[in-house]
Amino acid sequence: MGFFWTIVVLVVALAVAWRYLGAYMVAVYEGRVHFFGFLERPIYRALGTSPEKEQNWKRYGASMIIFTGVSLLVTYALLRIQGHIGLFNPQHLSAVPSPLAFNTDISFITNTNWQNYGGETTMSYFSQIGALTVQQFMSAAVGMAVAVALIRGFARKESATIGNFWVDAVRGALYVLLPIAFVAGLIFVGQGAVQTLAGPAHIHDALNGVAQTIALGPVGFMEAIKQLGTNGGGFFNANSAHPFENPTGLTNLLSIVLLLCIPFAFTYVFGKMVGSLRQGIAVLVAMVALFGVWVGFTAYAEHQPNPAVAAAGQVHQPTGNTTGKEVRFGDTSSALFGVSSTMTSTGSADAAYDSFNPMGGFGLLTGMMLGEVSPGGVGSGMYTILLFAIIAVFIGGLMIGRTPEYLGKKIQAREVKLAGLGVLVMPIVVLVLTAIAVSTAAGRAGPLNAGPHGFSEILYAMTSQGNNNGSAFGGLTGDTNFYNIVGSIAMLLGRFAIMIPVLALAGALAAKNVVPHSLGTFKTDNTMFIGLLLGVIIIVGGLTFFPALALGPIVEQLSKGHFYGTGLIGPFISHLTAGRLF
């Protein structure tokens, strides 16, 4: 299937998901879906709560922290004692070393799925299922709950409460994630993804006289939630490039659909719950615009010749940059997968991102640097873009001569403070930790390459963890005490230092009265607002990361003398930049 038809199918599938999955999610979070009531009710009873017991933002946040804390301890314990649990450990793998277990634990509870380990050689099947896959469900459900809480903040009027965390998390996992992941898992297995607890296969190649061990495991169903929950942590080290994880072109496309469907559908949830679908569509358009441009840019970059291969004499490369790509997927499709994965905080990979052309890597890196909002992770994309929207509304609203309001909620000092805080955290975490990494011996020991590419490798690792993406640029030796600890800090701050202000914001907004709409109101459902929102996202992301990018992928690309040798943009930029030297 050509790239064009891939896009067409993707658009149709996502449009259907947006409309129907979106409507279904609204029903779930409004408590109108009950088919797992027999499971749901006992859970609430055990937790001593019920859907009627609404929480204010502080209790909501505290419940979220308690849940995460318990997850953290349980996951850590399971990874540390995997050797002693006599179950599902055919390879007899022993305990995961403590710094690595700590990093992996935080990585999975924060929905990051940064992997400083090779799955098939480190984790027992029990750990893969009981520790990691469970968190792939629960961390996704937590992200979605926080987004729903923020949406309720906008939708409610003079309300002290924003929902019940336990109920939202349980419903998200039970009614949204579980059924879809189950069906998708069946497709993965049907297409040839392995699903077994029997342990690796041992093959004796009589012809060549060598014995081979083929890693197997419960892969297919984990694969479904890996993508659906924008987790990204695969069973195998090679992630979605591995034929047992991602066996066919169909599963490749299905992966992309799965990782985009919930984040995009959240705009429908937003529109419906605030009572105006147009509001949701405006946010959707902003997300799609960014996503489309990034896919186009990165696919274009990957369709260009690999400069290193060209320097080695192979100038003519009609299939683009194929270095580090699965031949089954090729240049543009790998770029599409890469952008989908980095822009959704998933971080799965069906190609080696380290081998992308400098500008292709730039596309992936900047896709994360924009704050994971287009469409971002499940739930996290929605609440993060709403933070940007509040800032856009504040500046834009002033320009029409009113103290700003968004969906009738006055945006005042408290809201600006919380939105500002939420937006500040990620760039500060990424830049400060990158600065620490490049100035310490332990940090400098990490990257494989020297110069700008080595810098890109460190910057990418911090960006990926600070944004809870989890994709690896590769080339960086991550399983060191330094990177395990620094990465854990990045992931924790990147998740909770944003979630807490978001919940506080939800509480502040819910308590407000709604200013009625009039002709003098700043409209947030038209092209102008979309433009402003995009402007704020790009300017905040661009201004904060431009210097770092200049020292990484930009200078790397410029070292080849020009942006692109051929194509439409190349001559234009060359013309623009053909200035004198200083």
Residue 202 CB coordination number (10 Å): 9
CA dist 374 and 360 (Å) reads 17
Nearer to other proteins, 25 or 423 (CB): 423
Nearer to other proteins, 35 or 572 (CB): 572
Nearer to other proteins, 206 or 581 (CB): 581
- What is the smallest separation between the CB atom of 112 and other proteins, expressed in angstroms? 21
Q: Which two tokens stand for residue 69?
A: 């804390």
CA dist 477 and 134 (Å) reads 27
Find out whether the peptide bond into 452 is cis, omega within 30 degrees of 0.
no
Nearer to other proteins, 227 or 480 (CB): 480
- What is the smallest separation between the CB atom of 473 and other proteins, expressed in angstroms? 16
Provide the residue type at 230 as one letter: T
Nearer to other proteins, 129 or 431 (CB): 431
Nearer to other proteins, 184 or 418 (CB): 418
- What is the smallest separation between the CB atom of 265 and other proteins, expressed in angstroms? 29
Question: C-alpha 286: how far from its chain's center?
Answer: 17
Q: Using N-to-C axis directions, what is the helix angle for 249-273 and 380-399, rounded to 10°?
A: 50
DSSP 240: G
Question: C-alpha 279: how far from its chain's center?
Answer: 23
Distances (CA, A) of 391 to 405, 408, 505: 11, 15, 13
- What is the smallest separation between the CB atom of 31 and other proteins, expressed in angstroms? 27
95 contacts 80 by C-beta, under 8 angstroms: yes
Nearer to other proteins, 350 or 556 (CB): 556
Nearest to 323 by CA among 342, 307, 345: 307
CA dist 436 and 455 (Å) reads 12
User: Terminus-to-terminus CA distance in the chain, angstroms?
Assistant: 49
Provide CB contacts within 8 A for 430, sequence distance 6+: 369, 459, 462, 463, 466, 467, 490, 545
220 contacts 195 by C-beta, under 8 angstroms: yes
Q: In 3-state terms, what secondary structure has residue 151?
A: helix
- What is the smallest separation between the CB atom of 238 and other proteins, expressed in angstroms? 30
Nearer to other proteins, 159 or 412 (CB): 412
For the chain, what is the radius of gyration of the CA atoms? 23
Residue 134: what are its φ and ψ, rounded to 5°?
-60, -45
Nearer to other proteins, 340 or 465 (CB): 465
